[in-house]
Amino acid sequence: MLAKSDGLTLEQHTQDLLDLFLEFKKAFEFLPIISKKDDFWEKLRKAIIFHDVGKATVGFQQFIAKLCKKYGFRHEIISAVVAKSFLDDNAAINAILSHHKNFEILSDKLNEYGKNKKYNENRWIEKEFGELDINWLKTFLEKFGIVYNGELEKISYDIDIDRWLPYGKRESILEIEKFQNIFLSASLSICDHNASAGIKSMPVLKPSHFDFLNKFTPHAHQKKSWRSNENILLIAPTGQGKTESAIGWLKNQLNARQGRAFYILPFTASINAMTIRLSAQDEGFGDDGVVGLLHGKAKFFIDEYYEKKDGQSLKDLIDINKKIIKPFKVITPFQLLKWAFGVKGFEKGFTELAGSYLIFDEIHIYDKELFEEILFFTEWLIEKLCIKVFIMTATMPTFIQNHIKSVLHINSTIKPDKDLLLGIKRHKIKLLNSTIDEQIDFIQSNINQGKNVLIVCNTIAKAQKLYNEIKCDSKALLHSGFNARDRIAKESSILSKEKPKLLIGTQAIEVSLNIDYDLIITEPAPLNALIQRFGRIYRGKDRFIYDKPNCFVATTIEQAHCKIYKKELIEKTINELKNVENIILNEVFLQEMLDSVYEPFELDNDTREILREYLDSIYPFNVYEESEEKFFKKFDGIEVMPIELFSEFEQYVHSKQYLEAEKLFISISKQKYASKKHLISHVEINDYKKVFPLIRLKYSHELGLLDEEVEDIRYKQIFI
């Protein structure tokens, strides 16, 4: 009996799933406890055995052997009917039913079969069941340890799926039953999809992966983190080993039980950099097979940095990072939050999160609504899915610390010893009563003296302007206005040993980008952003040994800055910085400064209730288009193609190099898209099935997307 059109037999396919099932058990050992189902693994094993037996009908076998063009019956329905004679467990039956289609589709199919005259007075399943090879089924089941004793003679045709649908009797479904169905159905699908993709293992993090932590002497706050079994809030300056603190904490948790781990960061650049770092031999796990990443442009990074093994395609590599395989993933918070909105695949998402470990770096830097959603969803995950969290920050006001500790019931706040903090003297601030443009000569003089200089601007336009005006043989520009191809190349250059002497960037460089420059000149911004920016210089040293300042802040607030940050916050920050200007900044003072700048706010309980309503209304085997749409509206970017790259794009598409073609797109904000509508034309070309917007703005590999209209007559016909 065939399972796949490539000749794979049902016996071999089932055995592949059972082999992977043994790996899955080791990786997700906490599932029976969370689901309060002692026989969880046995039910999953039997669901695997029965999940495809419905393919043993004459009609399906003819279809898969290409002896007929169509087979109109869902094989999983036959599989579930057969399984009901052997399994007294609705969750296992539902898992079999749902491993390809949601229940709304299956319900429509069942109604369709019931109305079809060829099935003889609505006994639709008897015809299909009558074509099932019982002798084969008996041998098949006995091969996998299930004795056939004529159970099929008392077959039940009842398929009870309506109670899970919106119009069904959901009030009869207990919460624990809901989670049991989520975990069993997702576990079967994970094993099925992974085995079908040829994946044979489900790696776990082992003690040896953490050997890199032994290469340095830990600080006291790191030792405390490594010993703790609790949820943690760590407050420590940049450059004081917060990442190592979190990874050591994770190692300690894994000594008690396995669970997947997620490292949550805000920016693409920092996610890419952290993935490289934690895959490395010297300061990471030394194994890219255990470290994955997920963000909107992850496929481009994977194409550049992951080495393909024999016979492995790029699609395989991308799938491995997406699928539930790698035990440690570096992600954006959106990759977690989407499951709260019922985005397709949420059953797998919740299963991967069950009993997991979340490491948040600067959880509070998002806008208030997003911060609250992340916080309240994490609260729900702790309560329902038994996750554990490690939250770390260098820039968190006290009132936000208190909100986090209260909502997440964190009893343990870890800070470096006061003596260590007093000893960290890396930054001396100088305020520049001007715009950053007026400091070109000052910047140039520092470069001419051989210093490595970091410049941080609030807008892409200002960063581009400075890049053009400052002379340096080794310089780089990093911001969100580059296409993926150029962005990845620039990140690689910046993180290399031969880093550029001059780096000009925007907010993309603020969090967890492991760079180290001699001095910084930055535009004004709120204090938490400035502290993060200061943390990119003088990282390798704890003592400031020069008399001259190394952190220069332009104080003129421009109109463009106020579109990004609240003017009041920038003004308060500048006033605070005046109090510490021209002195060596002591880390102990920073907390008081943060608390002076940021006005406390109360958490919005309505946000919490709305999120809880979403979560309470999510049932397995369903789709949630409305809440999915609400989630995806959170994203501001629209992908556009610069007109000057269009011919290159066409060449890639016609040669079927689709990934290379897509690397040329650039994401711009919805606001900018609306303001440039007169320069945008939607086009479609052969071999590329999507209609996409062309934008008539100039693009430079060095500078990114420019705010200059392309006048070249060669392109005008496209916009007619």
Q: Is 582 left (phi over 0), alpha (psi -120 to 50) or beta?
A: left
DSSP conformation letters of 48-104: HHHTTGGGGBHHHHHHHTTSSS---S-HHHHHHHHHHTT---HHHHHHHHTTTS-HH
Most confident of 71-80, 146-155, 211-220, 311-320: 211-220
Q: How confident is the model at residue 472 (pLDDT cuts 50, 70, 90)?
A: very high
Cβ proximity of 598 and 569 under 8 Å? yes
Residue 609, pLDDT > 80, answer: yes
User: Is the pLDDT reported for residue 297 higher than 90?
Assistant: no
When pLDDT is averaged across residues 606-620 and rounded to a whole number, the result is 94
Instruction: Please give the residue that has the higher pLDDT: either 591 or 603.
Output: 603
Q: Quick one: how far is CA 486 from the chain centroid?
A: 22
Model confidence at 715: pLDDT above 70: no
Q: What is the pLDDT of residue 120?
A: 47
**pLDDT given at position 541:** 58
| Predicted confidence (pLDDT) at residue 119 exceeds the cutoff of 50 | no
Whether the per-residue pLDDT at 720 is higher than 60: the answer is no
Give dist(CA 322, CA 302) in Å, integer: 11
Q: What is the mean pLDDT of residues 611-632?
A: 91
Model confidence at 619: pLDDT above 70: yes
pLDDT tens per residue across span 73-118: 889 998 998 898 888 899 999 999 999 999 999 988 887 776 554 5
CA distance 441 to 445: 6
Q: Which residue has the higher pLDDT, 303 or 599?
A: 599
Fold classification of 10-196 is: Hypothetical protein af1432 (1.10.3210)
Average pLDDT over residues 362-367: 90
CB atoms within 10 A of CB 346: 23
Backbone angles phi, psi at 447, to 5 degrees: -65, -40
Q: CA–CA separation, 625 vs 627, rounded Å?
A: 6
* Residues ≥6 apart with Cβ < 8 Å to 450: none
d(CA 69, CA 64): 9
> Which residues neighbour 375 within 8 Å (Cβ) at sequence distance 6 or greater?
363, 403, 404, 407, 408, 603
Predicted confidence (pLDDT) at residue 717 exceeds the cutoff of 70? no
Q: Is the pLDDT of residue 122 over 60?
A: no
Give yes or no for a contact between 502 and 472, defined as CB atoms under 8 angstroms apart: yes
**Domain locations along the chain:** 10-196, 207-417, 425-585, 636-719
- pLDDT average, residue stretch 217-233: 95
What CATH number matches the domain at 425-585, 3.60.15.10, 3.40.50.300, 3.10.20.30, 3.30.2350.10? 3.40.50.300
Question: What is the DSSP pairing of strand 412-414 with strand 453-456?
Answer: unpaired
* Reported CATH class of domain 207-417: alpha beta
Amino acid at 152: L
Q: Which of the listed ranges 52-66, 609-623, 679-693 does the model predict with the highest average pLDDT?
A: 609-623
Q: pLDDT class for 344, splitting at 50, 70, 90?
A: very high
**Fold matches, 207-417 and 425-585:** yes
In the three-class reduction of DSSP (H, G, I as helix; E, B as strand; rest coil), residue 656 is classed as coil
Taking residues 455-471, report their average pLDDT: 97
Region for 241 from its dihedrals, namely left if φ exceeds 0, alpha if ψ lies in -120 to 50, beta otherwise: left
Q: What is the mean pLDDT of residues 571-599?
A: 90
In this prediction, residues 379-388 reach a mean pLDDT of 97
Instruction: Give per-residue pLDDT as tens, 132-180.
Output: 888 899 999 999 999 877 766 656 667 778 899 998 889 899 999 999 9
Q: What is the pLDDT of residue 584?
A: 83
Q: What is the mean pLDDT of the chain?
A: 89
pLDDT at 471: 96
- pLDDT tens for 517-540 read 999 999 999 999 999 899 888 876
Residue in 237, 265, 698, 270 with CA at minimum distance from that of residue 478: 270
**What amino acid occupies position 315?**
K
**232 or 532, greater pLDDT:** 232
Q: Which of 670, 635, 454 lies closest to 552, judged by CA?
A: 454
The winner for highest mean pLDDT among 27-36, 418-427, 501-510 is: 27-36
- 195-199, 450-454, 461-465, 693-697: the lowest-pLDDT one: 195-199
Percent of the chain with pLDDT over 70: 94
pLDDT, average across residues 14-18:
97
Which helix (H) or strand (E) segment holds residue 109: the answer is helix 103-115
pLDDT tens digits for 175-192?
A: 999 999 999 999 999 999
